[in-house]
Structure 1
Amino acid sequence: MSSASASSTAPLPRPGEVLADLLPASRVREVALVAAGVAVMALLAQVVVPVPGSPVPITGQTLGLVLVATTLGPARSVTVMGLYIAAALVGLPFYSEASGGYEVVVGATGGYVLGFLPAAYLIGRAARLGADRHFLKALPLFVAGQLVVFAVGVPWLALTTGMDAAAAVAAGFTPFLLGGAVKAFVAAAVVPGIWRTLGR
């Protein structure tokens, strides 16, 4: 088959689509996509870098959040995050360092994971509008999505630990700025690159 004919049969992106929509539609697809999203979150949660003086470690979870939300869109990704939280609530070791259980979910880091819900909707909705297809649009979107997580997580951290606002920001926000920027940059380079490949 020539390159021209191969290109003509490639799945071309249309407005309102996310990457997952390019797969053949079926009920099995929907279940598989959500299950895969939960698995991605659980796996990237095991990438852990402790932060001295903070109960909140650096993990791969927010990278997982960005990738899942932009790939699956708002409805599926919010479902993924809800199931991810529910799985940990019943004791599955899906959080960092293979942890889980009620105490972990409502503990000091619980607000960050709760923040995955609105962040997933924001990123997924913007992806449906095409914001994930170009680096210069995707990068600020992915940064904003992570800021939503911190907007929920830092006050929760203060509430559960008794820290004042300044201490909570110092322990639960400032140490994560560089890592968050790197994750946003990586995702903003990878996802538009996938769209370009499919477009060709």
Structure 2
Amino acid sequence: MSTAAAAPVRTGAVLADLLPAVRHRYAVDTALVLGGAALTGIAAQIAVPVPGSPVPVTGQTFAALLVGTALGARRGFLALAVYALVGMAGMPWFSAGSSGAGGASFGYVLGMLLAATVVGGLARRGGDRSVLRTAGTMVLGSALIYAVGVPYLALSTGMSASAAIAAGLTPFLLGDALKAALAMGALPASWKLIGRRG
């Protein structure tokens, strides 16, 4: 029996679009954006120092990618923009309770803003509905975070490009693979569950 009809949800939707319709959609969108920012801030407090690197392993990047994927490009961008701006203003919810702009890891925050937007756009095109598509979406999102974070790390610390890669990319690849595997299981499973209920 074919499983092609397992997810009858319309194309162009992200998970957040499937919330029950309400009269005040603006209020719901605002709550989703603020919730996405808060989730990213909470996940950033799960921080493990990496010897020889000013950048810790955190749950922050995983949260940012999930927020972008679940909320879509516009709300994902706004959630990460709120996270970045409030953290720059002094809220201690960057990695390990830090705040402010200009730290060695701030480039990763900027990269997460870009990545949440891009993965949100891909999710609207079905980038989170199968294991392989989710893998590609997560890999691209992670690559965008590093594409901004690693050069920023080099500039802010005076590291060479190779030293910045060694300190700001290489130690995190295994963890990113595990995070991608979690997303590859969770996101398509959510769509399948919704399809069964639909």
Same fold per superposition (TM over 0.5): yes
Contact 1:45 1:96 in 2 (8 A): yes
Task: Find the aligned partners of 2:193 and 2:162 in 1 and give their Cα distance.
Answer: 45
Root mean square deviation, CA, Å: 1.2
Task: Judge which range, 80-89 or 23-32, deviates more.
Answer: 23-32
After TM superposition, give the deviation of residue 12 of structure 1 in Å.
4.9
Q: Percent identity?
A: 48
Partner of 2:46: 47
* CA deviation profile, 1:16-39 (whole Å, cap 9, x unmatched): 000000112511111110011011
CA contact (8 A) 2:65 2:112 kept: no
- Give CA-to-partner distance per residue, 1:95-148, whole Å, 9 cap, x none: 1122213xxx21110111101122111100000001101011101210110110
Correspondent of 2:121 among 121, 125, 128: 125
1:66–1:187 CA contact under 8 A, matched in 2 = no
The residue aligned with 1:83 is 82
Of 23-32 and 64-73, more deviation after overlay is shown by 23-32
Which of 142, 145, 150 is the matching residue for 2:141? 145
Which amino acid is 2:93 matched to? F
Partners of 1:98 and 1:158 in 2: how far apart?
A: 22
* Residue ranges of structure 2 left out of the alignment (5+ in a row): 1-6
| One-letter code aligned to 2:109 | V
Superposed CA deviations along residues 63-113 of structure 1, whole A, max 9, x for unmatched, are 101110110000000001111011111111111122213xxx211101111
Total equivalences in the alignment: 187
Q: Is the 8 A contact 1:113 1:153 kept in 2?
A: yes
Q: What's the counterpart of residue 58 of structure 1?
A: 57
**Equivalents in 1 of 2:56, 2:104: separation in Å?**
11
- Residue in 1 that maps onto 2:12: 16
Equivalent-residue separation in structure 1 for 2:148 and 2:96 (angstroms): 22
Q: Specify the code of the residue in structure 1 equivalent to 2:16.
A: A
* Structure 1 position 154 matched with structure 2 position 150: yes
Moved over 6 A (4+): none
TM-score between the two structures when normalised by the length of structure 2:
0.92
Which consecutive residues of structure 1, in runs of 5 or more, have no partner in the other structure?
1-10
Tell me the residue number matched to 1:37.
36
1:33, 1:87 → 2: CA distance? 16
Corresponding residue for 2:3? none
* Kept after mapping to 1: 8 A contact 2:43/2:59: yes
SS, match of residue 81 in structure 1: helix
For 2:98 and 2:159, locate their aligned partners in 1 and report how far apart those are by CA, in whole Å: 23
- Deviation (angstroms), 1:174: 0.3
